[in-house]
Copies of this chain bind each other. A is one copy, B any other.
Amino acid sequence: MVADYLQDVGKYPVLPKVQPGEVASMLPGMAPRQGESLDRILDDYARIIEPNVTHWNHPGFLGYFSITGSGPGILGEALSAALNVNAMLWRTSPAATELEERVCDWLRQMLGLPEIFRGHINDTASVSTMLALAAARHAQPDLDIRELGLAGRPEIPELVVYISDQAHSSCDKAVMTLGLGLRQVRRIVSDEQFRMRLDSLAEAVEADRRAGRRPMAVVATAGTTSTTSVDPMDRIAELCQREGLWLHVDAAYAGSAAICPELRGQFSGWERADSIVFNPHKWLFTPIDCSVLLMRDVDTLKSAFSLVPDYLKTDEEGVTNLMDLGVQLGRRFRSLKLWMVIRAFGVEGLQDRIREHCRMARDLVSLIDQDPDFAVVAPVPFSVVCFRWIAGDSPEQQDSLNEVLLNEVNAQGPVFVTSTVLKGRYTLHLAIGNLKTTEQHIQEAWQIVRTTADRLST
Q: Are B307 and A53 interface neighbours, CB within 8 A? A: no
Alpha-carbon gap, A405 to B85, bound state (A): 25
Contacts of A30 in B (CB 8 A): 106, 109
Alpha-carbon gap, A32 to B345, bound state (A): 9
Contacts of A149 in B (CB 8 A): 150, 158-159, 175, 179-184
Alpha-carbon gap, A56 to B318, bound state (A): 23
Q: Which of A16, A81, A305, A336 has the most CB of B within 10 A?
A: A81
Q: Are A169 and B329 interface neighbours, CB within 8 A? A: yes
Q: Are B54 and A94 interface neighbours, CB within 8 A? A: yes
Q: Are A95 and B134 interface neighbours, CB within 8 A? A: no
CB of A421 closer than 8 Å to a CB of B? yes
CB of A123 closer than 8 Å to a CB of B? yes
| A113-157 with Cβ < 8 A to chain B | 123-127, 130, 134, 137, 145-154, 156-157
CB of A346 closer than 8 Å to a CB of B? yes
* Nearest CB of chain B from residue A153's CB, rounded to whole Å: 8
Closest chain B residue to A429 by CB distance?
B311
Q: Are A330 and B86 interface neighbours, CB within 8 A? A: no
Binds B, one of A21-29, A189-197, A270-278, A358-366: A21-29
Q: Are B347 and A174 interface neighbours, CB within 8 A? A: no
CB of A390 closer than 8 Å to a CB of B? no
Q: Pick the contact of A150: B150, B174, B340, B343 (CB < 8 A).
A: B150
Q: Pick the contact of A169: B1, B38, B312 (CB < 8 A).
A: B312
Q: Are A346 and B35 interface neighbours, CB within 8 A? A: yes
Closest chain B residue to A40 by CB distance?
B343
Closest chain B residue to A45 by CB distance?
B79
Q: Which 4 A-B pairs have the closest CB atoms?
A: A149-B181, A179-B179, A69-B84, A77-B81
CB of A377 closer than 8 Å to a CB of B? no
Alpha-carbon gap, A64 to B172, bound state (A): 36
* Nearest CB of chain B from residue A232's CB, rounded to whole Å: 22
Q: Are B38 and A344 interface neighbours, CB within 8 A? A: yes
| A421-438 with Cβ < 8 A to chain B | 421, 429
Q: Are A419 and B145 interface neighbours, CB within 8 A? A: no
Knowing A330-B124, A344-B41, A421-B310, say if A23 contacts B109 (CB, 8 Å): no
Knowing A86-B288, A305-B173, say if A72 contacts B38 (CB, 8 Å): yes
Q: Are B123 and A31 interface neighbours, CB within 8 A? A: no
Closest chain B residue to A420 by CB distance?
B311
Closest chain B residue to A159 by CB distance?
B151
Alpha-carbon gap, A154 to B149, bound state (A): 13
Alpha-carbon gap, A84 to B340, bound state (A): 16
Closest chain B residue to A109 by CB distance?
B30
Alpha-carbon gap, A123 to B91, bound state (A): 21
Contacts of A388 in B (CB 8 A): none
Closest chain B residue to A96 by CB distance?
B53
